[in-house]
Amino acid sequence: MLTPAFALELTRLAIAIAVVQQSVELLALRRAMADDGVWAWSVLRRDFAGAPAGLADAVLGYRGTIAILVLRLAAAAAVPVAPALPCLLVMLATSLLVALRWRGSFNGGSDAMTITVLLATSIAAAFEGSPAIQLGCVWYIALISVHSYLIAGLVKLRAPAWRTGAALGIFVAGAVHGPPPRATALARPGTARLLSWTMIALECLFPLALLDPRICAAFIALALPFHVANAYVFGLDRFVFAWVATYPALLYCSAIT
């Protein structure tokens, strides 16, 4: 039986894996953040004209950024063995700093979901003795997860190009890695429309996952390959890990409604 405490423990482990992945990827990109790279701090600091220069330079300059990423990686790796609260607070603070360093976000929605989950799990860890706060944090994660799917589905439902299936082919053709093999199948209007409506239905109906654990498990079973497909087609690997971290909370909430 899933309890709020166990759901939060699973969430902590899952988000730690997401943070390890994100940190390792960014460390692999350190050349881009170096003084002669595209994302040099000497350029980015123009965005921080009002901030104390010495502090911003020390924290978000190249060496500071690498130190932040190493600290973030260490905190995430320590989650299974170290006290939860310090690890979560370090992951939260360093994730926010990394987002600042990349002009607000490095990877859009996955950064936002990671920080949402870290914020809720940090609050839950800080108030470990309060069952009401623990429960509130679990619900917050579950509702944000459901909300993210529903918004994504509704905006597609509103767009005529999604309803005809044309949008899917256009987005796939413009994917950052280029169109994948066999993407030509999307040129067939029937196939594109069927896939588009499947996505729209999955996203718009996702709130039903909260009604029953079996329905929730079914939605997760559909959402997981959907995220993996997005990782392959659009290069959105970080979204897989960030959204999976919300599933324990979803499962818990579906069981108590």
Chain positions contacting another protein, by CB under 8 A: 21, 24-26, 28-29, 32, 37-40, 43-44, 46-47, 96, 99-100, 102-109, 111-113, 115-116, 147-148, 150-152, 154-156, 158-159, 161-162, 166-167, 170-171, 174, 176-178, 180, 207-208, 210-211, 228, 231-232, 235-238, 240, 257
Q: Which is nearer to another protein, 11 or 21 (CB)?
A: 21
Report in angstroms how near the CB of residue 106 gets to another protein at its nearest. Answer: 6
Q: Which is nearer to another protein, 191 or 230 (CB)?
A: 230
Structure tokens at 25: 């990827």
Within 8 A by CB and 6+ apart from 7, the residues are: 138, 248, 249, 251, 252
Q: Which is nearer to another protein, 154 or 201 (CB)?
A: 154
Q: Which is nearer to another protein, 129 or 182 (CB)?
A: 182
Q: Which is nearer to another protein, 128 or 140 (CB)?
A: 140
Report in angstroms how near the CB of residue 252 gets to another protein at its nearest. Answer: 14
CA dihedral over 201, 105, 68, 84, signed as positive or negative: negative
Structure tokens at 23: 């940190």
Listed in sequence order, the DSSP H helices in the chain are 4-28, 30-33, 41-44, 53-60, 62-78, 84-101, 109-126, 131-158, 160-164, 166-173, 189-204, 213-234, 237-244, 247-256
**DSSP-derived 3-state class of residue 165:** coil
Report in angstroms how near the CB of residue 51 gets to another protein at its nearest. Answer: 10
Report in angstroms how near the CB of residue 220 gets to another protein at its nearest. Answer: 17
Listed in sequence order, the DSSP H helices in 102-130 are 109-126
Report in angstroms how near the CB of residue 76 gets to another protein at its nearest. Answer: 15
